Amino acid sequence: MNTTDLTEKTENNNAMPRIGDFAPDFEAVTTKGKIKFSDFAKDKWVVMFSHPADFTPVCTTEMSGFATRKSEFDALNTELLGLSIDSIHAHLGWVQNVRENTGVYFDFPIIADIDMKVSKLYGMLQPNESETAAVRAVFFIDPKKKIRLVMYYPLNVGRNMNEILRALEALQTSDKYKVAMPLDWKKGDKVIVGPPKTLDELNDRLNDDSLEKVDWYLAKKNI
Ligand code: BEZ
């Protein structure tokens, strides 16, 4: 590896918001009009996602996936917010083209991030993958505008809508019941109760026959 390679692989001038950070605020033009993120989707969760480019095949399948499953996001009190580094005219043309071809309508705002402002703010522009197109990012943002989960996918691999919905429901269920979610958790499965912090809690746990106990530190319950 020469010095140029090393520079290319380590340089990162973009902000990368992390889990637990408040979502950076911004104003943007979208297919549903102008938004200020701090005023967007009050008291709701937001799933904000980027795609590399309009009128491209993988992106068309992904956006159609968000559109056809929008009612499931609605049921989870969640607004969808798309983004790419394309103009509003390209967005409108693509939305209309997909509607004409397939009947699927992208009925959620898509940010026209032509100046890359939001992409850079959210670390969606990852220059060693592409200098001009956003990677496939997904930000799960709670009603307090805190980032709770982040996914980044490269240009050549589409995301999994089942996993996006599963992760969203897992976050919400974890918050509601103050529990953690095991491998592959899905709605209806048992959840993990937090480990005991005192000997009294440990003894209570050992005597609780309603729990499925693998060991004192790993116990599951129904909710
Ligand atoms: C696609 O969505 O198919 C795509 C977009 C940008 C680069 C590669 C693939």
- Give the tens place of pLDDT for each residue, 164-206: 999 999 999 999 999 999 999 999 999 999 989 999 999 999 9
Q: Please report the DSSP string for 169-192 in residue order.
A: HHHHHHHHHT-B--TT--TTS-EE
**Residue 157, ligand 1, Cβ within 6 A:** no
Q: What DSSP string runs through 133-172?
A: S--EEEEEE-TTSBEEEEEEE-TTS---HHHHHHHHHHHH
- Residue 12, pLDDT above cutoff 70: no
Co-location of 87 and 163 in the same domain: yes
Instruction: Locate the ligand 1 atom nearest the alpha carbon of residue 158 and give its number.
Output: 2
Q: Are 140 and 196 members of one domain?
A: no
99 is known to lie in a ligand binding site = no
My answer on whether 196 and 126 are in the same domain is no
Residue 7, pLDDT above cutoff 80: no
Given the residues 59, 110, 137, 192, select the one marked as catalytic: 59
The two structure tokens encoding residue 40: 């967007």
| Proportion of the chain above pLDDT 70, given as a percent | 93
Instruction: Grade residue 38 by pLDDT with cuts at 50, 70 and 90.
Output: very high
Q: Are residues 192 and 126 in the same domain?
A: no
Whether residue 59 lies in the annotated active site = yes
The number of folded domains in the chain is 2
Q: Are residues 95 and 190 in the same domain?
A: no
Longest Cα separation, the chain: 64
Question: What one-character DSSP code corresponds to residue 69?
Answer: T
For ligand 1, the distance from its centroid to the CA atom of residue 125, given in whole angstroms, is 14
Q: Tell me: do 74 and 39 sit in the same domain.
A: yes
pLDDT at 183: 98
Q: Are residues 144 and 54 in the same domain?
A: yes
pTM, 2 dp: 0.93
Q: Which domain holds residue 192?
A: 179-223
87 and 54 in one domain? Answer: yes
pLDDT for the residue 198: 96
Same domain, yes or no: 166 and 65: yes
Residue 63 near ligand 1, beta carbon < 6 Å: no
Find out whether the beta carbon of 134 lies less than 6 Å from any atom of ligand 1. no
* Residue 201 CA to ligand 1 centre (angstroms): 52
Say if residue 120's pLDDT is above 90.
Answer: yes
Same domain, 48 and 154: yes
124 & 186 share domain: no
Are the CB atoms for 117 and 26 separated by under 8 Å? yes
Residue 218 identity: L
Give yes or no for residue 111 CB within 6 A of ligand 1.
no
Domain match, 95 and 152 both: yes
Task: Retrieve residue 107's tokens.
Answer: 């009925």
- Give the DSSP H or E segment for 88: helix 88-102
What CATH number is attached to the domain comprising 145? Answer: 3.40.30.10
Q: Find the range with the poorest average confidence among 58-62, 143-147, 204-208.
A: 204-208
> Measured in angstroms, how far is the CA atom of residue 36 from the centroid of ligand 1?
28
d(CA 28, CA 206): 54
